[in-house]
Structure 1
Amino acid sequence: MGNKLSGRDLIKLGFPKNNTINIALGQINRYRKKEKKESILSEAKEVLLYPEKFKNHGTWGKLAEGLVNPVQVKLQQLRNSRVPFSIFGENEIEEQAKFQLYDALKLPIAVQGALMPDAHSGYGLPIGGVLATDNAVIPYGVGVDIGCRMSLSVFDLPASFIKGKEEQLKAILSDHTKFGMSETHKVKADHEVFYREEFKNIPVVKQLLDKAYKQLGTSGGGNHFVEFGVVNLQETLPEWKLEAGEYLAVLSHSGSRGFGANIAKHYTYLATKQCPLPKNVQHLAWLDLNTHDGQEYWMAMNLAGDYAKACHEDIHRRIAKALGKRIALTIENHHNFAWKEQVNGKECIVHRKGATPAAQGELGIIPGSMTAPGFIVMGKGNPEALNSASHGAGRLLSRGKCKVTFTQGQIKKELKEHNVSLIGGSVDEAPMAYKNIHTVMELQKELVSVLGTFTPKIVRMDK
């Protein structure tokens, strides 16, 4: 008997010949390859005899599900027509992003869609795309960076605090923020998120615990940042401890790091295996929430979102400690996620890939660029936008286009004109690569109201 378990071994035990065996083998060979074949086969026999007992099991759940409710994998056909949708700022959006939404609107699970004014093309759903689906979740509708989010901390310190302290604030960002693939904090922090049951019960999540622990409180590359700036609160809300006025603030943008990326990769693979689609829409493969994998992804996605939130909490805690000041107010939101929400009286899964939740009275932060203000907003709960708004200004030029269009000299000149200091950063993230945030905000007046602005002063990005 060879050491590696094969499909033949499971078929010999009496398992039916179907796709479920291939999926189960992938799980076993990936997460339990160090165990003896005999003990795995003994457990497999138990699964065959009593599949109900293993319905939610990390390794055997999918196989048990296949025994209780066999499902035939077949090519999914798109509808001939699109479900209802709205586009905000249509003239500002490239055609490819619109066509990506049009394809998504023909999925048999689609209920309603929307496109935000900062939209541009991506994988699966376009960035700035919102899609409500019927009891199904699309991993690429959430995005690779699950739980990518904004977090704004406002200190009870006047804006004038920055004057004369630029070097001190630069040093704080240099010393207490980490970016990219390899930078981590020397002194690691603990967090309650690491004690969640998902880290024990879901094999792919369990395997990522060490990576998640090491990367807590760090930011990704690309357009992720941590920056000091000036917040102008134009209104005083009852729940805020601050009056209208100008204050020192920290704004961060990042997601769930390698932890979320690996979850996205794993479940996208499972979705494409179980939900074959025509080639032009294969990135929109979904997981039915009534299945083992659908439920597992939902739990893993929510955990990744909470981990992203924990990362921001740790970043802001470190900065506040270095400043020796307490945070007076925090405003935060995901913009790469899926939520269970009511759409026309029915519970749907609402995917926002690069879109800010903007339900009635919901607070959020929509950044501009490193030389343009961000906006503190309150949602108006517009049903045509599926209670959403843009997640930023949106790209005008791709990263590749930036490299052949702009020079470091041009970027330095732009930064100097706006009195902004930059630590790190690359040509890909040139401020000129982004749409005009004021135009974008004008195009979503019916989606959000503005409560204040954030103007960047000292920006830290990956090198």
Structure 2
Amino acid sequence: MPYEKLEISTPKPVLSWANHALGSDETKMARNVASLPFVFKHVALMPDVHLGKGALVGSVVATKEAIMPAAVGVDIGCGMMAIKTPFTAEQLEGKLKQIRLDLEAAIPVGFNENKNVEKVVLNWQGWRDFKELHSGVQRLESKAMKQMGSLGGGNHFIEVCLDTENSVWLMLHSGSRNIGNMLAQNHIGTAKELAKLAGDRLPDPDLAYFVAGTPEFATYWHDLQWAQDYARFNRDVMMARFKRIVEKHLAGGKQTKPLLSVNCHHNYAEKEVHFGEDVYVTRKGAVRAREEDYGIIPGSMGAKSFIVKGKGNAESYCSCSHGAGRLMSRNKAKNVYTLDDLIQQTNGVECRKDEGVLDEIPGAYKPIEQVMANQADLVEVVATLKQVVCIKG
């Protein structure tokens, strides 16, 4: 659907691709961001928009000469990776459980980390710049190395999927792990201190910002780009292991070439040109969707996911949603649903079916089909996927 302009009084308008009215807290959050003097042109809200910290998850904010670290978020560079393999559904028969067990043994989840650091991780060029990162993370280099190639927790996942033509896809969702979180926390703290010292009357303390040209801005921007690179490479490392395990089961260990590979952030900031001007674009729970950009829009652990190609919609700052978006909080999901509900809603999926993942039940998320319908002017669907194996962090 085309966007609608929200009926709220703000210096800059808010354009929404959601098909529902925002709640009072969501409206307040949108108003707070759109009231900041450095926000450029308008704020764009994606179809999966919901409450975040400081800025809404599912929002795209372009700014001039300033950036808000909390609007980027603490999982810097969080995003998705997917590859289309030459394998077909028939080759998976009878092998799903063992594939899941092998993946769980090879890729640490939650707070776990790798016991050994593999050569490809040690050779990552980003380690050369580690000593230039914020002083608050200098003790974490060893931990960051051990966590490279690990999934994390929450809504992060690994999935084996099938498309409508029964081709096998490998997909995963992860970010910059503890190192990205700690970098973000340190910089958010600095921004809040600067706002306090300057006497800034911000509508929300989490909208504290750095001004371009200052040392604090330069330091944050450097660390932000580093963490985004870490997150992308983290997904590459996991996908390489993932691919080897599937090849072991389906091709006798023989290496295969992906038919398509996509690796995209959905929590990040970049310098871009929009409406003829240089701006900083913060996508918090949104994927870049310029013309010909490939992206990934996952559903819940029991729903469809989509590989998409961008249409370059200018009003959205060439963006699209990053998923279905939560319909209810994790705590509410645990109170509303039972283990029997989880088993029913994940029928046909090889996955954990215990109370530890109850907060990720499909019913806690918005219907992905409606989210996709709302952004037909932002992306075209390249492939529709449905998971047959799902591993949650």
TM-score (norm 2): 0.89
Shift of 1:408: 1.2
- Which residue of the partner structure matches residue 6 of structure 2? none
Whether contact under 8 Å (2:14, 2:30) holds in the other structure is no
Per the alignment, do residues 327 and 94 of structure 1 end up closer, same or farther by CA in structure 2, a change over 3 Å counting? farther
Q: Report the Cα distance in structure 2 between the residues aligned to 1:402 and 1:94, rounded to whole angstroms.
A: 18
Shift of 1:198: 2.8
Select 2:51's aligned residue among 121, 127, 136. Answer: 121
Of all paired residues, the percent bearing the same amino acid is 34
Q: Report the Cα distance in structure 2 between the residues aligned to 1:304 and 1:434, rounded to whole angstroms.
A: 28
Q: Report the Cα distance in structure 2 between the residues aligned to 1:95 and 1:309, rounded to whole angstroms.
A: 35
Select 2:173's aligned residue among 253, 267, 273. Answer: 253
- The alignment partner of 1:185 has SS state of coil
Shift of 1:197: 4.3
Q: Looking at CA atoms only, which structure, 1 or 2, has the larger radius of gyration?
A: 1
Per the alignment, do residues 296 and 204 of structure 1 end up closer, same or farther by CA in structure 2, a change over 3 Å counting? same
Indicate whether 1:311 and 2:246 are aligned: no
Select 1:212's aligned residue among 144, 158, 161. Answer: 144
Amino acid of the structure 1 residue aligned with 2:213:
N
- The alignment partner of 1:449 has SS state of strand
Supply the RMSD in Å over aligned alpha carbons. Answer: 1.7
Q: Report the Cα distance in structure 2 between the residues aligned to 1:195 and 1:301, rounded to whole angstroms.
A: 12
Whether contact under 8 Å (2:158, 2:173) holds in the other structure is yes
- Which residue of the partner structure matches residue 159 of structure 2? 227
Whether contact under 8 Å (2:126, 2:230) holds in the other structure is no
- Which residue of the partner structure matches residue 268 of structure 1? 188
Shift of 1:310: 1.3
Question: Which piece of structure 1 moves more, 100-109 or 315-324?
Answer: 315-324
Q: Report the Cα distance in structure 1 between the residues aligned to 2:322 and 2:10, rounded to whole angstroms.
A: 28
Amino acid of the structure 1 residue aligned with 2:180:
G
Whether contact under 8 Å (1:230, 1:247) holds in the other structure is yes
Amino acid of the structure 2 residue aligned with 1:153:
I
Select 2:16's aligned residue among 66, 87, 94. Answer: 87
Question: Within 5 Å, which residues of 2 pair with 1:46-445?
Answer: 81-91=10-20, 93-111=22-40, 112-181=42-111, 183-189=112-118, 190-193=121-124, 195-202=126-133, 203-232=135-164, 245-276=165-196, 277-278=200-201, 280-322=203-245, 323=247, 324=253, 325-328=255-258, 329-416=260-347, 419-423=348-352, 426-445=357-376
Shift of 1:332: 1.6
Shift of 1:210: 1.5
Q: Any stretches of 5+ residues in structure 2 without a counterpart?
A: 1-8, 248-252
- The alignment partner of 1:426 has SS state of helix
- The alignment partner of 1:451 has SS state of strand
Amino acid of the structure 2 residue aligned with 1:207:
R
Shift of 1:163: 1.3
Amino acid of the structure 2 residue aligned with 1:248:
V
- The alignment partner of 1:91 has SS state of coil
Q: Report the Cα distance in structure 1 between the residues aligned to 2:388 and 2:162, rounded to whole angstroms.
A: 7
Aligned length in residues: 368
Question: Within 5 Å, which residues of 2 pair with 1:3-82?
Answer: 81-82=10-11
Per the alignment, do residues 98 and 365 of structure 1 end up closer, same or farther by CA in structure 2, a change over 3 Å counting? same
Whether contact under 8 Å (1:358, 1:379) holds in the other structure is yes
Q: Report the Cα distance in structure 1 between the residues aligned to 2:25 and 2:122, rounded to whole angstroms.
A: 41
Question: Which piece of structure 1 moves more, 96-105 or 119-128?
Answer: 96-105
Q: Report the Cα distance in structure 2 between the residues aligned to 1:191 and 1:353, rounded to whole angstroms.
A: 30
Shift of 1:331: 0.9
**Cα deviations across residues 104-130 of structure 1 (Å, max 9, x unaligned)?**
011111112100110101101110011
Q: Report the Cα distance in structure 2 between the residues aligned to 1:161 and 1:201, rounded to whole angstroms.
A: 48
